[in-house]
Amino acid sequence: MNRLRVENVSKTFVLHHQNGVQLPVLQNASLTVNAGECVVLHGHSGSGKSTLLRSLYANYLPDNGHIHIKHGEEWVDLVTAPARKVIEVRRSTIGWVSQFLRVIPRVSALDVVMQPLLDLGVSREECAAKAANLLTRLNVPERLWHLAPSTFSGGEQQRVNIAHGFIVDYPILLLDEPTASLDAKNSAAVVALIQEAKARGAAIVGIFHDEAVRECVADRLHQMETAS
């Protein structure tokens, strides 16, 4: 069953402050992802992997093409959807793990992690229990849970970020190098979370530079075409 269909997406960046230089990055990119499948974007540095992933979260607006998302019973095209629809899709359908945590000052790690589930109306007790479970599995020491993540190490921040992305059982997950700053033990914890998400039927698009991780989670590679 399709969850996500990318059709002929193109994106050219125009650098207005640098003489209007044009950088064509995506050209007619097409990709379909089914429930329970993990597709890994593959290509050299600068080939547009993050650009495509950000477009799937509607952070970037493509110049052409369609990004159809199965949102509950309806299909939404993120290229033409109004902002309120995009917010709705992000709240319940698409989870996003960026490479870096955007730290919110003075909000505790536990609160950062459980916020997306609280936003869906789940009780605070249930959210806190699920957040604690994820932070434990990701080896974030309990003494840190009530502190703001701004002073955490890079790897600790990344694990808070991953817990935040996995707290809701999203039907679609977008992962931009979630294991980049993690050691082998923590990478294995993330691999386990990804495999569980696949088993419950999540459609996953990810970028993984670590070949061992890629081999564990990828059902298929999507080769990035070089735009001319």
Site of interaction with Mg ion (CB under 5 A): 49-50
65 binds ligand ATP (CB under 6 A): no
- Integer Cα distance of 118 and 207 in angstroms: 28
Supply 139's token pair. Answer: 């080896």
13 binds ligand ATP (CB under 6 A): yes
**3-state DSSP call for residue 157?**
helix
The residues near 222 (Cβ < 8 Å, ≥ 6 apart) are: 31, 39, 40, 41, 42, 205
Give the residue with the Cβ less far from ligand ATP, 49 or 222.
49
49 binds ligand ATP (CB under 6 A): yes
CA max distance for the chain: 54
Give the residue with the Cβ less far from ligand ATP, 46 or 72.
46
Task: Give the x/- contact pattern for ligand ATP in 22-41, rule: CB under 6 A.
Answer: -x-x----------------
When CB distances are held under 5 to 8 angstroms depending on the partner's kind, the choice from Mg ion, ligand ATP, none that residue 180 binds is: none
Q: Which of residues 92-121 bind ligand ATP (CB under 6 A)?
A: none
Give the residue with the Cβ less far from ligand ATP, 43 or 201.
43
Size of the site for ligand ATP (CB under 6 A): 12
Burial 182-216 (b: 16+ CB within 10 A, else e): beeebbebbbebbeebbeeebbbbbbbeeeebbeb
Neighbours of 107 (CB within 10 A): 13
63 binds ligand ATP (CB under 6 A): no
Q: Interface with ligand ATP by CB under 6 A: which residues?
A: 13, 15, 23, 25, 43, 45-51
